[in-house]
Amino acid sequence: MKTKIDLNVHTHHRAGTEERPGSCGIVIFGASGDLAHRKLYPALFDLYYAGHLPENFFVIGFARSVWDDQAFRKQVLETLKEIGKPDPAKQKKFVSHLYYRVADLDDTASFHHLADALKELHQKYKTQGNVMYHLAIPPEACGNVVAQLNRAHLINPPKKGGPWTRIIFEKPFGHDLESARALNHDIHQYLKEEQIYRIDHYLGKETVQNILMFRFANSIFEPIWNRRYIDNIQIMAHETLGVEQRAAYYDHAGVIKDMFQNHILQLLTLCTMEPPIKFNAEQYRDEKTKIFHALRPIPRGKVNDYVVRGQYGPGKLEGKKAIGYRQEKGVAPRSQTDTFVAMKLFIDNWRWQGVPFYLRSGKRMNAHGTEILIQFKQIPHSMFSSVPPDTFASNILCFRIQPDEGISLRIESKQPGPEFSLASLNFNFEYKNVFHTHLMGPYERLLLDCMHGDQTLFIREDQVELSWAFIDKILEGWQKSHAPKFPNYAAGSWGPEAANKLIEQDGRKWRSYVANYSAPTDEHGKKL
């Protein structure tokens, strides 16, 4: 059902971010890598194209590839052309701000060469020594890089009115609690927490940002956002892709480290946190941290009662044969790495006591999408004698994070006609169809926030350690429990059968709007 939406816009800007950030330089470590080409250069160009970058800026690519400025600019131009970015003339003007230096991260001389380049470009572009470093490199290299930057006098201490230094750390931030703590310790020798920006690109997505606005700016929802009215919350992130070129990383991480430790648990905090007294970075992140503290530990020896893991085998996707995980290039032939995880969690606090949270994420699923479904409780009593209470479908609120970002709400209504019969109506809202404007991508938003010095959408030290502590307990439980026989689901399916039992034993079902959000489907793709 298509629903007409009347848009009455009354815009309130967040202080500081309606203007361009101050002049600065940007240094990208790992500048020749996949992440830089897929995400960072397109995002920086989009910011430039939309007039969001500072008037005076420059970008230095810093990587092992033996390029010069011209070769680097050519590579970036080819990337922008391949993904269809507009306005070739503006592309050329954008890349004229790009420079390149060959890096050896273990060689102090490389960092002194970088210091020389920064000094020259700060003078040329009048950027007052302000610099943002983006570390698109493995986490094990980050501590050394920060130490090298410090030795080369490339880190400015925080000082009001003085030049600033901010460093973006890509995920994963460590590979377990011990390594995350060690990395935090190493970088805090040279950086204050206010200079550290641990990025989770999910938090830059438009619908993710809208969760709090939806909850706390609409008085009809917040009073019922609790255990009295909500039956369960489901968070799902499905991918049709396999590991592609990431096998070297993924076969040591799996979906639980790649998706749950950061993206999924962060989404959970946004759905469940209390309203901060003021919407500033610290109070906002304080409330998110409280949720990590309130996560109920999975009982010792019972991890398999709460967590299901899977690995895809050969199957069929979009009508074509798909190989299994163990046949992917770079994957060990007997790999026990999880490519699917489903889990049931509880939050032990006043608002959420007893409400189950069902989370799942997997690769090579039969549809691509990320969504959060809030399922409200069924009505307790039917005043209509011919219609029992369990005939009424539950109201479901869905935040569609990707693709087709938007929000859906299912309600019950009388079907027209002389008989009394019910129909489920779905009210759908999509950003692209309502606002008719370019949606700022997550990297655009987060890069811009870092330039503004806004840490709201970045992960704080305590959050990253608490999330790793929770995941580590699951991994410890797996080591002590009987491992499932892999593969245990086919590529192109919805995951292992045990994932269905995890929720069905509670008398509930997985619900997904991914394939067709106007008609909710169950785990087998059948309309509900």
Output the pLDDT for position 18.
57
Q: Are residues 145 and 267 in the same domain?
A: no
User: Is residue 418 classed as helix, strand or coil in its secondary structure?
Assistant: coil
- Provide DSSP, 45-59: HHHHHTT-S-SSEEE
User: Is residue 100 classed as helix, strand or coil in its secondary structure?
Assistant: strand
456-466: pLDDT as tens digits = 999 999 999 99
Output the pLDDT for position 1.
43
192-225: pLDDT as tens digits = 999 999 999 999 988 898 899 899 999 999 999 9
Output the pLDDT for position 406.
87
Neighbours of 15 (CB within 10 A): 11
Percent of the chain with pLDDT over 70: 91
CATH number of the domain within which 401 lies:
3.30.360.10
| CA-based radius of gyration for the chain | 24
- Section 163-183 average pLDDT: 95
Output the pLDDT for position 279.
87
Q: Are residues 57 and 109 in the same domain?
A: yes
Banded model confidence at residue 8, pLDDT cuts 50, 70, 90: low
- φ and ψ of 413, to 5 deg: -150, 155
Q: Are residues 159 and 262 in the same domain?
A: no
Banded model confidence at residue 7, pLDDT cuts 50, 70, 90: low
Output the pLDDT for position 348.
97
Output the pLDDT for position 414.
73
Residue entry with tokens 């019972």: 302
- Using a CB cutoff of 8 Å and minimum separation of 24, what contacts does 193-196 make? 193/460, 193/461, 194/158, 194/455, 195/155, 195/158, 195/164, 195/165, 195/166, 195/167, 196/167, 196/169, 196/461
Checking if the pLDDT of 528 tops 50, the result is no
Q: Are residues 41 and 163 in the same domain?
A: yes
Tokens of 291: 């949720």
- Section 297-307 average pLDDT: 93
Domain count, the chain: 2
Q: Answer left, alpha or beta for residue 73, where phi above 0 means left and psi between -120 and 50 means alpha.
A: alpha
Lowest mean pLDDT among 49-53, 116-120, 435-439: 435-439
Q: Is residue 45 part of a domain?
A: yes
Domain extent at residue 165? 24-198
Output the pLDDT for position 369.
92
Output the pLDDT for position 425.
78
- Distances in whole angstroms, Cα of residue 15 to Cα of each of 19, 64, 160, 204, 210: 9, 39, 18, 17, 17
- Section 2-24 average pLDDT: 60
Banded model confidence at residue 359, pLDDT cuts 50, 70, 90: very high
Q: Are residues 194 and 234 in the same domain?
A: no
Q: Are residues 180 and 234 in the same domain?
A: no
Q: Is residue 420 part of a domain?
A: no
More confident residue, 385 or 455: 455
pTM of the model: 0.91
Domain end (from 176, 198, 220): 198
Q: Are residues 185 and 242 in the same domain?
A: no
Q: Are residues 154 and 245 in the same domain?
A: no
Q: Are residues 252 and 143 in the same domain?
A: no
- Section 179-186 average pLDDT: 97
Output the pLDDT for position 385.
64
Q: Which DSSP helix (H) or strand (E) runs through 381? A: none
Q: Is residue 60 part of a domain?
A: yes
Checking if the pLDDT of 13 tops 70, the result is no
Q: Are residues 156 and 291 in the same domain?
A: no
How many residues can be counted in the chain? 528
Q: Is residue 429 part of a domain?
A: no
Checking if the pLDDT of 481 tops 80, the result is yes
Output the pLDDT for position 338.
97
Residues designated as active site:
263
Q: Is residue 224 part of a domain?
A: no
Do 97 and 53 meet the contact criterion of CB atoms below 8 Å apart? no
Q: Is residue 222 part of a domain?
A: no
Closest C-alpha among 398, 303, 53, 13 to residue 41: 53
Q: Are residues 255 and 345 in the same domain?
A: yes
CATH number of the domain within which 67 lies:
3.40.50.720
Banded model confidence at residue 22, pLDDT cuts 50, 70, 90: very high
More confident residue, 514 or 526: 514
Q: Are residues 260 and 133 in the same domain?
A: no
- Section 14-29 average pLDDT: 80
Q: What is the mean pLDDT of the chain?
A: 89
308-341: pLDDT as tens digits = 999 999 999 988 999 999 999 999 999 999 999 9
Q: Is residue 3 part of a domain?
A: no
Lowest mean pLDDT among 125-134, 399-408, 519-528: 519-528
